Structure 1
């Protein structure tokens, strides 16, 4: 990777400690938040290994991406700041908003006031599959889980809880098939995809990738556990004629850099 133009600030140890504590809070590690009863992996108690990999659905914590993927997002936000990679940061599929809250907290800690965090979600759960158009989604039943539907108002309240609800946070409500063309940012530094379906992965890639700055990053949260998401990524690569190097996060999520 290229060298970073911006050095670490003198108070970085304090920044790191602050963001480490936020990771604990957002993932539910700080209070050992148990999983929801409807969580796909049936543990009644908090399990740090399962939570670290984001394999359960926390009862009250604000993210289900797990500690490792949350940390990856945090470090990439720091990297684009230090590397002067221009553009805003978008997360498509946010649940309770925890990962986007982390991204906004990093901007705040680094005093990066020239970027926005775009928080894109239906805020109604996942769409029913459209197998006629997207055959890879035919078996998806994620639209039937009420636990995955978190209202816009609740996500905004979660940002407010951390004092991070401000003009640098932009909410984009609706199905990605309708909203991705409405993203106003002309440049993006990070695209974080967490749509859990082929449709919800390919739509953001098609509409947003050309706006990603050179040196910017794409993160695919569900690449290793939802075959439809993996297929969408590789279909997009074939469409664009690109073969970026895929970097593993935790055996589930991956990320890659735009040359």
Structure 2
């Protein structure tokens, strides 16, 4: 499944602002390229981390559903649904949260670190419609009533989302605002023993939001690095 999601089998090239590139195995493994066709860009190490967190959630009986905020083509969420199906787990749901239009343009009142990123300029690659993500689930035979889409900006979609408890919260929104909004509205629903995975911890804006939130909430659970990009922690209280 991991080889298919990262497309190391057919080895599609990458996409850059300057045009397409050839397949580069090390970059794909590390989740450092924007694949032309693969359904995830998080690479093997972050997929392995997701797998490990899912295994520990099940083994330890951590209550709750699974969510990703910022899903691109849906690969990580598809993996989560595949994991549940492979293990015969029917009492957990996968929540798929995204604007499905790309990264929002940051206005003058936005966080300065977000303005510096200007990621909206890459929405030709980063913006994937909800219908396309749903179709990707369908192609794996995993589009069912255990998958729920939450379209819209996180500040609008998450406060009223009917998510009761979470066992795993995976953030991949890049921006300070996106990271802050996801943590603010979802961390209170994370069960003790649940995992927070930060895909974009390498990005200063995202990292600042994580540190600010943890300081405000007095969270001192250790942050552990996954690879050069991602990090995670496990909730103890």
What TM-score do you get using the length of structure 1 for normalisation? 0.88
- Deviation of 1:78 (Å): 1.8
Q: Which residue of 1 aligns with 2:230?
A: 253
- Give the secondary-structure state (helix, strand or coil) at the position aligned to 1:215: strand
3-state SS, counterpart of residue 201 of structure 1:
helix
Match of 2:46 in 1: 69
Match of 2:12 among 33, 38, 42: 33
CA distance in 2, matches of 1:79, 1:50: 28
Computed over aligned residues only, the root mean square deviation of the Cα atoms, in angstroms, reads: 1.3
The answer to whether the 8 A contact 1:55-1:66 is kept is: yes
Partner deviation per Cα, 1:196-248 (whole Å, 9 max, x = no partner)? 10001000000111110000000000102x10000000000111012220111
**Alpha-carbon distance, 1:183 to partner:** 1.9
Task: Please name the residue that 1:104 is paired with.
Answer: 81
Tell me which residue corresponds to 1:181. Answer: 159
Alignment of 1:16-165 (within 5 A): 22-38=1-17, 44-145=21-122, 146-165=124-143
- Count of paired positions: 235
Q: Secondary structure at the residue paired with 2:179? A: helix
Q: Which residue does the alignment assign to 1:3? A: none
CA distance in 1, matches of 2:157, 2:168: 18
Give the secondary structure class of the aligned counterpart of 1:67: helix
Instruction: Name the structure 2 match of 1:4.
Output: none
Unaligned runs of 5+ in 1: 1-21
Tell me the CA shift for residue 136 of structure 1. Answer: 2.4
Stretches of structure 2 lacking an aligned partner (at least 5 in a row): none
